Amino acid sequence: MVATQPRVGVLALQGDVREHARVLSALGAEVALVKRAEQLAAVDGLVLPGGESSVIDKLARAFGLQQPIRAVIAGGTPVYGTCAGLILLADRIDDAIAGQESFGGLDVTVQRNAFGSQVDSFETDLEVDGFDTPTHATFIRAPRVVAVGPAARAIATLGNGEVVAVAQGNLLGTAFHPEVTGETRFHELFLERVRSA
């Protein structure tokens, strides 16, 4: 059982690292910015931030982080991925660029930039399993989950049924960015998993 103040890592290679660190700190977590493999051993949970999934993938391999992160995921450490982080958690990427890989662990297929470019970014309210009220979600060059395997489950969908948030054991992924809208319930859910892992 983790102490009441869990130590949570945010993968700090590229993307909206500060935004996640701010939310997690406000919720009482001790935050560590993870840039090296040895730093993973000192965290109770890991956040994979939004950004450019292909760039984070390349940097993770260049810094020797890919296999250690895969080991952390396989070992049951709670991991939360937003946007690019969801792509990095997915077992399958529908339209990966040449040579792009993921860390895997989440039994889903995702499609990168599924809703279009930056100018096609949008906001909407979503019903989320386990939340009493809808969440206001911001989609920025967001992926979408195009297939959910038997090990994972959808926890939020758009009005047309497209899956935009998934959970599987200690893994959580959202296609949108709660860290930029003041929505803290996904991070709270993640921290609950960290504390009970």
Q: Are 145 and 106 in contact (CB under 8 A)?
A: no
Check pLDDT > 70 for residue 119.
Answer: no
For residue 10, what is the DSSP state?
Answer: E
pLDDT digits 0-9 by tens, 17-76: 999 999 999 999 999 999 999 999 999 999 999 999 999 999 999 999 999 999 999 999
Catalytic residues, which ones? 83, 177, 179
| Cα 94 to chain centroid, rounded | 17
Residues of the chain with pLDDT > 90: what percent? 86
Q: Sorting pLDDT into bands at 50, 70 and 90, what band is 197?
A: confident
pLDDT at residue 1, as a whole number: 46
Check pLDDT > 80 for residue 115.
Answer: no
pLDDT at residue 140, as a whole number: 85
How far apart CA 48 and CA 118 sit, in angstroms, is 20
Check pLDDT > 70 for residue 2.
Answer: no
Contacts of residue 136, Cβ cutoff 8 Å, sequence gap at least 6: 123, 124, 125, 181, 183
Q: Does domain 7-196 have CATH number 3.40.50.880?
A: yes
Contacts of residue 30, Cβ cutoff 8 Å, sequence gap at least 6: 5, 6, 7, 8
Q: Where are the domains of the chain?
A: 7-196
Mean pLDDT of 2-27: 91
Mean pLDDT of 85-99: 94
Instruction: Write down the pTM of the prediction.
Output: 0.94
